[in-house]
Structure 1
């Protein structure tokens, strides 16, 4: 582990150029279990495009949510050395730009990944005025705990 007081940084693509905003996709702290703090994740695909966006429609919250949860799975898997995934998320905050329009669709995708309250993380869903890109309609921040 890094000697940094706030744990070890994890980057899904460490060779990607650093943009104007500096943050890792996750930070992890090892104490018998590895706690992984996942930054706010939007639906950006590996090629830089945004899932669920077309020129003629409102962004698709279902596609964006599914992409975000898949990305969180990859981040937790990578940050834990393959020992965990999205199933290890214990807490999440979901940000929606249009609560009335998008909550049900986001929740449908969420429930495909987390099939019951017994396995789902604690969660808060917050309506926000905007996200960093106007094509984002949902963003998720999460904390995962993975056994070492």
Structure 2
């Protein structure tokens, strides 16, 4: 194991991309709990499809913040489940950073989907939402980075 914990890759057989990072990193445990650090996650599914992205006949794209946010949170859930051997999921997230392109037009829609997953403040993780100029792919409206704690 690497000194910074165990890497989790959704599909370890895929070739490395332009940047090097796993979908999550499981920190070495000091107790029966492990901390899982989830890398910035988008709405792209493991099969390469993009939720909330519609390619139009004229060559433009229609992007949906609600569908993308729901897909991002589902992807975070799947990553945590995979990294924890099914012991945890999105509800184990203790801290998250949400990056969106336009706070004025996208924050409310992102928050609506967030609130479907986290029903109240008592169960929701700590969170920061940051408006950014751009994200790594033009199909992305939202990206989430998270930290989860799971009992092993």
* TM-score normalised according to structure 2 size: 0.93
Aligned equivalents of 1:113, 1:15: Cα separation in 2 = 30
Q: CA offsets per residue over residues 48-99 of structure 1, 9 Å max, x none?
A: 1211011345410111100011111111111111110000000000000011
Equivalent residue of 1:31, what SS? coil
Aligned equivalents of 2:111, 2:104: Cα separation in 1 = 12
Aligned equivalents of 2:79, 2:22: Cα separation in 1 = 10
Equivalent residue of 2:55, what SS? coil
Q: CA deviation at 1:134?
A: 1.1
Q: Which residue in the other structure is 2:77 paired with? A: 73
Aligned equivalents of 2:30, 2:63: Cα separation in 1 = 40
Equivalent residue of 2:72, what SS? helix
> Are 1:92 and 2:96 counterparts?
yes
Q: Is the 8 A contact 2:52 2:68 kept in 1?
A: yes
Q: Which residue in the other structure is 2:133 paired with? A: 129
Aligned equivalents of 1:17, 1:49: Cα separation in 2 = 17
Runs of 4+ in structure 1 off by over 2 angstroms are 55-58
* TM-score normalised according to structure 1 size: 0.95
Q: CA deviation at 1:135?
A: 1.1
Gaps of 5+ in 1: none
> Are 1:54 and 2:54 counterparts?
yes
Q: CA deviation at 1:12?
A: 0.9
Q: Which residue in the other structure is 1:25 paired with? A: 23
Aligned equivalents of 1:76, 1:110: Cα separation in 2 = 17
Q: Over aligned residues, Cα RMSD in angstroms?
A: 1.0
